[in-house]
Every structure is written in structure tokens, then in C-alpha cells.
Amino acid sequence: MRLIPTILILLALCSCATHYRGADAQIVKGFDVLPGQALLVVRVESTEYTGNSPYECPEDVCIPFYFWYKYEAEVLDVVKGNFNTQKLSFAVLHHANYVKEVTDEWYILIEKFDKKSIDELGVQYRVVQHDAKAFYNE
């Protein structure tokens, strides 16, 4: 019978270790949110490499360095701006996919894509700027 309270305490402590506790003020200070943008904290559920690059680059002349990645995420917090959905599909232009430590609590500044990009990638939002606590942990 003594074991049950100990197990319950351990379970509670483990759940706190991965629970979102609110926006980090230092990270939020690094974002300037313009009209039409929203600063969100998200937890990524899936990632898809698209192979699409916005750069015109003939294969025999150069190799594109950045590609669009599509993400499906749960919105943990709307820090600034107007946004009212709990699930989000968006694209990020970068060289490689981030590790889970970054995308579990990822601060993203999003804005709507242009119509051409929406048609090409199948998502309505793109990330303008991003940051994460994982970049600062020592």
C-alpha cells in the first residue's frame, strides 16, 4: 500500500517535466509581431520534407540549400495576434528538420502565404521567424 502514493507522486512529477508552463518572456521579447501575423507556441506532431525550394537554380549550376518543410502542430499558446485554432499546418524554409527538443515547445511567428505558395505546398501559413527554449538550455 505504501507503494501506490510513491508511484502517484512519480507520475505527477514526470508529467510536469513535459507540460507547457506558459510563454518565456525573454524569447517573446525577440519577436516584433506585425498586423496579420501571430506569435504562437506549438508542439509539432509531424513533419514533411517537400523538396520544393523558392530559388531558381538549374541543377548543373547550383544546389539549393533551403527547402520548404511542412509541419502539423498542436497550438499550445497564442502569445500575440489573432489565431483561434488548436491544430495548425504551416511551412518553414530551412536546410534540415529540427529535433524534437526544439519542436516540442517551438515559438513561431506566422503569416498567411501568397496564393501561389498555398497552391504549391498545400498550407496557408509560413513561418517568418522562430525560436525555442532548447536553443538556450545548457
* CA neighbor of 130 nearest in space, from 65, 52, 73: 73
pLDDT tens digits for range 28-54: 999 999 999 999 999 999 999 998 888
Mean pLDDT throughout 113-127?
89
Residue 60 and residue 125: Cα distance in Å, rounded?
A: 32
- Would you list the domain boundaries of the chain? 21-135
> Sign of dihedral through CA atoms 19, 47, 98, 75?
negative
pTM: 0.81
pLDDT tens digits for range 51-109: 888 877 777 787 778 889 999 999 999 999 999 989 999 999 998 888 888 899 999 99
> Sign of dihedral through CA atoms 96, 130, 93, 72?
positive
CATH T-level topology, domain 21-135: OB fold (Dihydrolipoamide Acetyltransferase, E2P) (2.40.50)
